[in-house]
A and B are shown apart, each in its own frame.
Chain A
Amino acid sequence: MLYALMGLGLSLITGILNIPNFAHGALFAVGAYLLVSAATAIGNFWIALLVAPLGVALLGLAIEYAGIRRLYAAGHDYQLLFTFGLALILSESIILIWGPIGYSHLPPPILRGGLDLGFTFYPKYRLFVMVMAGLLVLATWLFLEKTRYGAIMRAGIENKEMVSLLGIDIHKLFTVAFALGAYLAGIAGALTVPIRGVNPGMGVDMLGIAFVVVALGGLGNLLGAIAAGLLIGVAQALVAGYWTEASTVVIYAVMAAVLLVRPQGMFGIR
């Protein structure tokens, strides 16, 4: 589910802005770390969960405004280098601010412990994450499908020129899209904290997965990203049960296999 969130955010950014956002994983990490700090400072998990992703969204706004905005005309190579450099800056800053060792953080009291599902005990918090992430995906989906602004965004994926010709400020659209994508990454990061804790490398791992999801789902294909995210998540969970070390490799292997058969991804249009 979290993968779907990440994939959705990245798909949005890459689809609308048409840039390779290699900082997406770092945004995920920032979200996680912000949650830790906020939760520790405020003392309330729920408020922190609200606040942290907004912080990431703000960061996204700043990034888009200060940097990415200037690069739309530049080639992918420079955009890549920029977001890559950004990722480095962010991850190193995380180490500077929070130290190189990871933390773990307990879920809020309501969600501790497991739920008896009859055939197995399942951690309550994980269930919560699934539900929460699912709701977020749904909410984003509804926003994009049902609201006017969402429709504009989707149109922007299809045809930027047309959208700007219709008198819509394409730059604002880009900024919002990036901020939204950042928000999704941030909240995914925040949600993940009680499950896996935080560590400075978490951004990088997530980045790769996010790209796999987007590649499989089709660039800009939001439904595809969701579906691919779910597929990858399930595949990984299954494999982790049998052969833990290979679980990450499996994700990439699945991607390679799918792309061999269908170069456009599962849902991409050639």
Chain B
Amino acid sequence: MNRPILLLLAAVLVLPIVVRPAIATEIWIFAIFGLGLNLLLGYTGLLSFGQSTFFGSAAYVAGFLLKQYGINAFLALGIGVGVGAASAALVGYLCVQRSGLYFIMLTFALNQLFYFIAYQWTSVTGGEDGMPGVPRPALAGIDFTNPLVYYALVSVLFLASLWIMKRIVESPLGKILQAIRENPVRAEAVGYDVPRFKLLAFVIGGAFSGLAGVLYAMLFGIVPLEAIGFVFSGNVLFATLIGGSGSLYGPVIGSFVFIWLSESVSTLWARWPLLLGVAFVIVVLFLRGGVVEAWSRVGAKFGSWRSSKPKS
């Protein structure tokens, strides 16, 4: 087992001691979300500015089923993944034919579509007020209403997600996606159906986002409208960029940074999104490459970083 993994395992064990279990849980949920985005952003080179579409859709659907039909947790998670993947397939299908700015705008606009549907469909989603009352059912006799127990579940799922993403990234698919990022024309010429692969990346990213969405709904017991809004999409983008889109573990680091940032600031000031915006601007103007490079240097010391590193 290489060192980043060991470090993460340690973090998983130690974190709930350092911060409240709810926050610790949120960090891993966001990390799963970020992993999904980074497959698209860092590896395939697709800036999808609408990941909250899949996150939110999964949260709403699973939340609804949990609330109204009392489905079990296992099913809820599966549905979350499925809804995330399905919505990503839909959005991806519309978007992969375009690239560059068009692609970004499309993912955003489709995100807005879903957002407005959620906003208007108040009978199901609760509109602006969100969908409260999402339960956290027991699974195999384990009661998850205890925050620490739920934390354990989420962190296990995170580690599993990380492992899956690592496998994907180290597989031929990982290479193909990176090739598409590096040179889509040549990738096509050597025999890859580029739009299909982009769609595949979308679906996988969507599945991860969906999982994160369900876990989020169950964590807070509510699906807020923001979960499908573009601010959320921006947050996960920020987290991924600040952690470093050039590595597998970047989104995890970014999740730490972002959650810490937003949690500590939001309690201070109702206008905290302003500070968040300022943070975005500062990162872009001054720390671009800085934070990322610092992390890379730290990470490069951990030996087998190379095998999962997408960019040199």
Q: Does B112 contact A (CB under 8 A)?
A: yes
Determine whether the beta carbon of B274 is less than 8 Å from that of A88: yes
B55 sits at the interface (CB 8 A):
no
A204 interface contact, C-beta 8 A: yes
Contacts of B94 in A (CB 8 A): 256, 259-260
Q: Which residues of A contact B237 (CB under 8 A)?
A: 77, 80-81, 84
Question: Which of the residues A80, A88, A264 comes within 8 Å of B104, measured between beta carbons?
Answer: A80
Annotate B91-106 by CB proximity to A: 1 below 8 A, 0 otherwise: 0001001101110111
Q: How extensive is the interface on chain B, given as a class? A: 35 or more
Pick the contact of B284 from A20, A82, A212, A215 — CB < 8 Å?
Answer: A82
Q: Interface stretch among B66-74, B113-121, B132-140, B198-206?
A: B113-121
Q: Does B281 contact A (CB under 8 A)?
A: yes
Q: B23 within 8 Å of A by Cβ? A: no
Q: Which residue of B lies closest to A204 (CB)?
A: B230
A 181-194 to B, binary, CB cutoff 8 A, 1 in contact else 0: 00000000000000
User: Interface range on chain A: under 10, 10 to 19, 20 to 34, or 35 or more?
Assistant: 35 or more
A window 66-88: CB within 8 A of B: 67, 70-71, 74-82, 84-88
Please state if B277 and A252 are interface contacts (CB–CB under 8 Å).
no
- B225-255, CB < 8 A from A: 230-231, 234, 237-238, 241, 245
Query: A249 touches which one: B41, B108, B120, B285 (CB < 8 A)?
Result: B120
The residue from B108, B234, B273, B281 contacting A67, defined by CB atoms under 8 A apart? B281
Q: Is B301 an interface residue (CB 8 A)?
A: no
- Provide the residues of chain B in CB contact with A89, threshold 8 Å: 274, 277-278, 281
Task: Find out whether the CB atom of A70 lies under 8 angstroms from the CB atom of B106.
Answer: no
Please indicate the chain B residues that have their CB under 8 angstroms from the CB of A76 in the complex. Answer: 47, 100-101, 104
Residue contact A92 to B273, C-beta cutoff 8 Å: yes
CB atoms of B101 and A208 under 8 A apart:
no
Query: Cβ of B273 and Cβ of A18 under 8 Å apart?
Result: no
Q: Quick check: A211 and B105 within 8 Å, CB to CB?
A: yes
A-B contact count (CB 8 A): 124
Cβ–Cβ contact B285 & A77, under 8 A:
no
Interface string of B143-169 (1 = CB under 8 A from A): 000000000000000000000000000
Bound: A204/B226 CA distance, A: 13
Task: Name the CB-closest residue of B to A90.
Answer: B277
> How distant is A211 from chain B, measured CB to nearest CB, in Å?
5
Chain B binding surface SS class? helix
Q: Is the CB of A74 within 8 A of B271?
A: no
CA distance A117 to B105 in the complex (A): 39
In the docked arrangement, what's the CA distance between A252 and B280, Å? 28
CA distance A248 to B114 in the complex (A): 11
Tell me if B105 and A215 are in contact (CB < 8 A).
yes
Pairwise interchain contact B234-A81, C-beta atoms closer than 8 A:
yes
Whether A212 and B109, one on each chain, are in contact in the complex, defined by CB atoms closer than 8 angstroms, is yes
Bound together, the chains give a CA A14 to CA B108 distance in angstroms of 15
* A107 interface residue (CB < 8 Å to B): no
| Residue A245 lies at the interface, judged by CB distance under 8 Å to chain B | yes
Q: Which of B106, B231, B281 contacts A86 (CB 8 A)?
A: B281
List residues of chain B with CB under 8 Å of any chain A CB.
41, 47, 49, 94, 97-98, 100-102, 104-106, 108-110, 112-113, 116-117, 120, 230-231, 234, 237-238, 241, 245, 271, 273-274, 276-281, 283-285, 288
Enumerate 21 A-B pairs (CB-CB under 8 Å) in ascending A order: A14-B101, A20-B105, A77-B41, A77-B241, A81-B234, A82-B280, A84-B234, A86-B277, A88-B231, A88-B273, A92-B273, A92-B274, A92-B277, A211-B105, A219-B101, A219-B102, A249-B113, A252-B110, A255-B109, A259-B94, A265-B102
